[in-house]
Amino acid sequence: VNGIRIRTFVSPGFGQNGYLVWRDNGQSALAIDPGAAAPAMADALADEGLWLEAILLTHAHLDHIEGVATLVDRTGARIWLHPADRPLYDAAGQQAAAFGLRLTPPPAPDEALADGQRLNLAGLDIEVRHAPGHSPGHVILVLEEAGVAFVGDVVFQGSIGRTDLPGGNFQQLIASIRGQVLTLDASCRLLPGHGPETDVGHERATNPFLAAQYGGGLA
């Protein structure tokens, strides 16, 4: 889209979507949510001759951060996380243990994401929108120029993120979707943390979790 390349990497265990984003003819890239497919992401960066400028994390659940250590080790990229998910991030080892997994703890985040922040990384303009409810520090990342939003585990095609994990809150999640996702253009593509992509108009019209009885009227 518009000379912006987006490549999806699905992690084998959790079926989580990690993404690389870069500009055609650019020399640097962004990684979003490097999960267990991080080695393939690092290989792709090397194949494309790209320098990784930043790792942006939508949130700090294990499946979205388990590849951070690998990717930092291979690229030296800086890590961006919303501070409200720092406790989850710091408990990555315990999250892994709950699944019977062992994890190399990720290095500490370098930078803080915040609601309303506008970043320019790898030559890409990114708007940060805080969207708590699935986790306290969840953000969505909007690339307006490309007409896409990386929505992590806030909303999926036909579904929404779970709210039964520590720090989850159902009413807050619905408010985040209404205020931070459905306010995007109807044509905006939504690239989620799991499953296929969708768009704002489709979810507004058909997502059963966004029906009136759950959150009041639609945005």
What is the binding site for Zn ion (CB under 5 A)?
A: 61, 63, 153, 193
Decide the pairing of beta strands 189-192 and 148-152. parallel
Q: How far is the CB of 59 from Zn ion (least distance, A)?
A: 6
Nearer to Zn ion, 193 or 215 (CB): 193
Q: How far is the CB of 58 from Zn ion (least distance, A)?
A: 8
Nearer to Zn ion, 45 or 131 (CB): 131
What one-letter code names the amino acid at 159? S
Q: How far is the CB of 35 from Zn ion (least distance, A)?
A: 8
Q: How far is the CB of 137 from Zn ion (least distance, A)?
A: 11
User: Tokens 């949510």 label which residue?
Assistant: 33
Q: Across 57-168, where does the E strand assignment appear?
A: 78-81, 111-112, 118-121, 124-130, 139-143, 148-152, 155-156, 159-160
Nearer to Zn ion, 62 or 122 (CB): 62
Q: Are 191 and 197 in contact (CB under 8 A)?
A: yes
> d(Cα 16, Cα 10) in Å, to the nearest integer?
5
Nearer to Zn ion, 4 or 60 (CB): 60
C-beta nearest to Zn ion: residue: 61
CA-wise closest residue to 16 among 51, 55, 62: 62
